[in-house]
Structure 1
């Protein structure tokens, strides 16, 4: 499942844009929960929410036109193979359909873009909006201006759109958008974001059919092989588990391990409608089940590994979680395993 994620390379581009406009590296890591080391791969995907948080910072630091900062950062090839899909077919329209079909190589697959031909008009339109309202403006600026640049690169012509539409409201001054798109035909508060060209669909891209097929196959293979890095909630629980194993389970220490402040950690817990205590209890519960099921450690040793003062504390917690005791749970596991393996052992004995 890659829905709810974006490719690490796209996240890396957004992060580079944020650094370019003055956001501090520590602040970026704090709001996104992403490790920069994870952002240089075509096969890794990260939570879409992390990208939204970075876009919020970009918008806050750079203001109107901040989406164009990302476009300036995204040179051809910066978004890997997707940039070359714009010239993968013999005509611009065919190439655009391929690029939009395989858009998951650069974005969340829940983001829908479609290519529409109506007479001489060729439109690239956002068909499904999933971004939060507060960051729609910079994202739309980025996506539409990036489309324009890739279309120009594919056709090797200085195409000028006949219309560009944004769903957000117009800024008081939007001359920077007129300069970027080369037209004053800009519509705001539109139902969908879109960019339209006249008599451009049949323009040749100079594509090599063989290379076009190879590029498409590469993108499809990359999507099939993609994997997600743990989201922030998973990272938090991993950090809590590591703190338990080291015997230093304190909120401040776990926050430092996640490269955020204790206050930010508390805020995120609140946003997820949970608490530090609940998260610690969840990790302890899961680890208790694993240790009792998969090891022969005495209950007192399990209690020690989970940070409890003694076995009695674990007994009280375990009864609260499961309405039974650690010893009873372990006996149930052993009995269930014996019952399930008994028939198999009996069948093996029949063939001796």
Structure 2
């Protein structure tokens, strides 16, 4: 498990809801801090801080109903195998214990949840540590409403809690919460975000024991194999390599590929003590060295492919980097570029 992260699938729900609410894609990309393309990778974990910034942008656009808007997009399957854990046990109580035990599949592992069965009462309690503020209410409302919807789907019954509690202060008007949860017994400023039900613990979920085992195993593997998205510096270099290889490496195009503005890209490069021109030169040199070493392409063709005005421009650049001409480098069959180039390249963004 990777602490201080959430699943990319959960982050994608916030991202999509914010876009529909009119939040600028560039703002979201800046808040996310990683390539939005990773939001479709089940193994990728997004920094919780990044998701928090997206929640803030959504709140600024929509207000206190943002959490329920995100929940409305969380149809079954959007949160990967976690959604199917609600039918992993023979009864609702058994399934919910698995769900809360595997909460880290979608949420930050630092948090927690528990299921309490006492007499005829069943309480689902969220124990995650969320800082006080407007976002607290959004996250709690999202969490409980999604769990209620999955429990209804698992049992095939329109379950209605006898009590719902939230940790945030009461909003001026909360009719929307009564509509979603089906009860007027809603408390605020509570120590926990939780829902309590009456006589539902033994409700069957129609589960297949073998399928439930497979879902639990898959959830465990997701946690074991989870990974962080590429670092900003890695992303910039990958984008530049692709751009140079394709012969289109204008600043605007690379920035667009990274979902950031050209000015932001230049600023991040400056923060690392390098520049756009330095990085382009370094990557063109790396690719020139690779083509000289691994192909029989004429030097003129290599110069054209990498965007040099003529072979002499490639020769001058290569001489600066290695102290050798391209022809000498090819004849030697060596690659002395690594030591010389590293100092100019991005270390970490």
How far off is 1:188 after superposition?
Answer: 0.8
Q: Residue 265 and residue 36 in structure 1: after superposition, are their counterparts in 2 closer, same or farther (change >3 A)?
A: closer
Partner residue in 2 for 1:9: 9
Contact 1:160-1:181 within 8 A present in 2 as well: yes
Partner residue in 1 for 2:122: 122
Q: How does 1:245-284 map to 2 (within 5 A)?
A: 258-261=258-261, 276-277=270-271
Q: Residue 305 and residue 116 in structure 1: after superposition, are their counterparts in 2 closer, same or farther (change >3 A)?
A: closer
Gaps in structure 2 of 5+ consecutive residues: 245-250, 283-320, 322-333
- What is the TM-score when the length of structure 1 is the normalising length? 0.71
Q: How does 1:97-176 map to 2 (within 5 A)?
A: 97-131=97-131, 133-176=133-176
Contact 1:65-1:177 within 8 A present in 2 as well: no
Partner residue in 2 for 1:73: 73
CA distance in 2, matches of 1:160, 1:147: 12
Give secondary structure in 2 for the equivalent of 1:123: strand
Partner residue in 2 for 1:179: 179
Partner residue in 2 for 1:57: 57
Contact 2:26-2:261 within 8 A present in 1 as well: no
How many residue pairs get aligned? The number is 287
- What is the TM-score when the length of structure 2 is the normalising length? 0.71
Partner residue in 1 for 2:200: 200
Partner residue in 2 for 1:331: none
Work out whether 1:306 is the aligned partner of 2:343: yes
Contact 2:165-2:194 within 8 A present in 1 as well: yes
CA distance in 2, matches of 1:41, 1:280: 31
Partner residue in 2 for 1:96: 96
Gaps in structure 1 of 5+ consecutive residues: 270-274, 309-352
> RMSD of the TM alignment (CA)?
3.5
How far off is 1:276 after superposition?
Answer: 4.8
CA distance in 1, matches of 2:342, 2:210: 59
Bigger Cα displacement from structure 2, 62-71 vs 129-138: 129-138
How far off is 1:222 after superposition?
Answer: 2.1
Contact 1:11-1:51 within 8 A present in 2 as well: yes
CA distance in 2, matches of 1:206, 1:145: 22
Give secondary structure in 2 for the equivalent of 1:39: helix
